[in-house]
Amino acid sequence: MAKPKVDQSLCIGCGLCASLCPDVFELGDDGLAKVINENACNGCCQDAADQCPTGAISLN
């Protein structure tokens, strides 16, 4: 399965990814998204990558 990554230099902390995939993404203390479990996508990571307003999420 593809592994998600967040480019924090692009993230604006909107929270969409954490809302779509709460087991995968979390907003850190800095207000930016980070991956907490890259193996928990269950299909939601593609939606998060597609819908992230700044294109900060990549799947590899």
The residue ranges that bind ligand SF4 (CB under 6 A) are 6, 11-17, 33, 52-54, 56-57
Nearer to ligand SF4, 17 or 41 (CB): 17
Nearer to ligand SF4, 33 or 41 (CB): 33
Question: In the complex, what is the shortest distance from the CB of residue 48 to ligand SF4, in angstroms, rounded to a whole number?
Answer: 6
Residues 6+ positions from 26 with CB-CB distance below 8 Å: 18, 33, 34, 36
The C-alpha torsion from 27 through 35 and 42 to 18, rounded to 10°, is: 10
Q: How far apart are CA 2 and CA 32, in angstroms?
A: 21
Question: In the complex, what is the shortest distance from the CB of residue 35 to ligand SF4, in angstroms, rounded to a whole number?
Answer: 10
